[in-house]
Amino acid sequence: MRKQVIGVVLLMMGAVFACSRPGSENVIQVTATPMMLFSTDTPTQPTPTPIQPTPNPARFPMEINNGVYTVQAGDTLAMIAARFGVSLEQIIQANGIADANQLEVGQLLQIPSVSAVNTGTSFKIIPDSELVYGPTTVGFDIFTYIKLKPGFLRVYSEQLGEELWSGVQIIDQVAMDYSVNPRLLLALLEYKGGWLSQPSLEAQVTIYPMNYVDPARQGMLRQVLFAANILNEGYYGWRYRGLEATTYIDGSPLVFAPDLNAGTVAVQYFFAKTSTAAQWAIDVSEQGFFQTYLSLFGDPFRAAKEPLTPPDLQQPTLTFPFAAGETWYFTGGPHGGYNTGSAWAAIDFAPPAPTDELLATEGYCYVSDYWATAAAPGVIARSGYGYVVLDLDYDSNEHTGWTIVYLHMATRDIIKAGTRVNTGDNLGHPSCEGGFSTATHLHFARRYNGEWIPVDCQFCAAGLSAPRMLLSGWEVFLSDGAEYQGYMVQQGTQDLRRAEQGREDPINHVSH
């Protein structure tokens, strides 16, 4: 059965894993990284940045013929509406659309009269390395940092199931799972509500810390989950999925300046989802959120790591993450590395079928007796609560170099963090633990310097590339520009396997 990672699952010690959907998320494991306190001099004005912005010409030609637009792979109705300067409601009404989330490549859309759209500001707020939880975070300890701040965040806690979690624990864990820089999340909390500087806060601010007013997203956890996913949606949408426009909360259109970098687009995108157009102009200006970031962490461009992923990045040799000679099942094509906003960096495998007895007693969510194995040599950087993170550069830091993320790993027999492994070594058993899952399987994803690396870069922005996922000589491809749809081809042959639910169809049988 197909699963979709729609939220983060925060496992409280001794609690049961819960399915997570928007508005009902819990969290996974908390780990404090023992690092030195990060500090830097704080300039009063932005300093010139040596980095080159990421050019972002339209990958999907937004052209209409006699008022009709042909839907391209990667399009959304909101994107189309924003690009043509019309409202989402206008497109829905003009085309009699019942479900705004359902589009098909090649579908013809009648576009109402197009109005002029102003392009947003070109002011760069942060480099990409301040969006991604990557190498620039070395030396930053969120727990020590907040202890030295007088704000309400230092004493805030939230009841999650049977456990009481501090606000800092929540931010630390969400940053880890989404691979979003914790400094950025902290700066947004300060800008939105004074969480780091004000000892007491109004009740409304504690209910909606990110000022995203939605009764289904009350409290620190749900607000930070929303922010992390939206930031990723803007960042990876710009880099890898053709995002070039969006709408403000009132539905009016915003087209991003084409000379921005992905990190800045992510911040602009976040404020568009939480602000009116007038407030957005303040938020993303030199005197807006940027000043808050300067006051907390100094000039974000001073220590930028650019580019995070070099244009000639090559994937290390990887094998299928299971034992040679076994037949597993390719059940999920390219999809979010974590939640829907991140790059489509993951694919899914189901292990061989369980015994009838195990299926009868445990149902579709059981702990498989089969082992997930190391796809390459390395060291285990993180383990537990559904995760095994394999670090291929052996520094035990999952924010630098190549890492492989295994999700839905059972607690039983799981390998310990710090263990050095060789290709094929046993890591643990697939299950439903750690995230939303309706059936036992293995979620397998790649990151480099903390950035989720897409399986297939067919929609990357101009000048960007990413190495295609290659496992045991099989190349993985995205199908139809749709998440979860994909296939793999064995190099040098015509042999093809397609992602399908279940184990019955031979087209999804894989082995090595």
Distance of alpha carbon 171 from the chain centroid: 15
CA-CA-CA-CA torsion sign (434, 437, 439, 444): negative
pLDDT for res 247: 86
Higher model confidence: residue 368 or residue 119? 368
Q: Which amino acid is at 209?
A: P
Rounded mean pLDDT of the chain? 86
pLDDT at 41: 38
Of the candidates 423, 426, 384, 424, which has an alpha carbon nearest to the alpha carbon of residue 407?
A: 384
Residue 36 has pLDDT above 70, yes or no: no
Which comes out higher in pLDDT, residue 482 or 484? 484
Mean pLDDT within 394-410:
97
Q: Does the pLDDT at position 57 exceed 80?
A: no
Note the pLDDT of residue 114: 60
Question: For 174-222, how does the pLDDT look when each residue is reduced to its tens digit (9 = 90+)?
Answer: 999 999 999 999 999 999 999 999 999 999 999 999 999 999 999 999 9
Would you say residue 235 has pLDDT above 60?
yes
Mean pLDDT score, 235-248: 90
Residue 379's pLDDT band, with cuts at 50, 70 and 90, is very high
| Higher pLDDT, residue 44 or 143 | 143
Taking 60 as the threshold, does the pLDDT of residue 444 lie above it?
yes
Q: pLDDT tens digits, residue range 330-361?
A: 999 999 999 999 999 999 999 999 999 999 99
Give the model's confidence band at 449: pLDDT under 50 very low, under 70 low, under 90 confident, else very high.
very high
Integer angstrom CA distances of residue 429 from 326, 371, 435: 14, 5, 15
What's the pLDDT at 15?
A: 30
Nearest to 283 by CA among 264, 302, 262: 264
Whether the per-residue pLDDT at 31 is higher than 50: the answer is no
The alpha carbons of the chain give a radius of gyration, in whole angstroms, of 22
Confidence category of residue 56, pLDDT binned at 50, 70, 90: very low
| Cα-based distances in Å from 8 to 32, 170, 395 | 18, 11, 26
Tell me the β-bridge partners of 90: none
Mapping DSSP onto H, E and C, the string for 148-175 reads CCCCHHHCCEEEECCEEEEHHHHHHHHH
The model's pLDDT over 147-180, given as tens digits with 9 standing for 90+, comes to 999 999 999 999 988 889 999 999 999 999 999 9
Amino acid at site 312:
D
pLDDT of residue 159: 93
Contacts of 148 (CB under 8 A, 6+ apart): 37
Q: In this model, does residue 265 exceed pLDDT 60?
A: yes
The Cα 152–Cα 161 span in angstroms is 22
Query: For 75-124, how does the pLDDT look when each residue is reduced to its tens digit (9 = 90+)?
Result: 778 778 766 767 788 888 889 898 877 888 888 998 887 666 668 999 99
Nearest in space to 290 (alpha carbons), one of 184, 178, 180, 152:
184
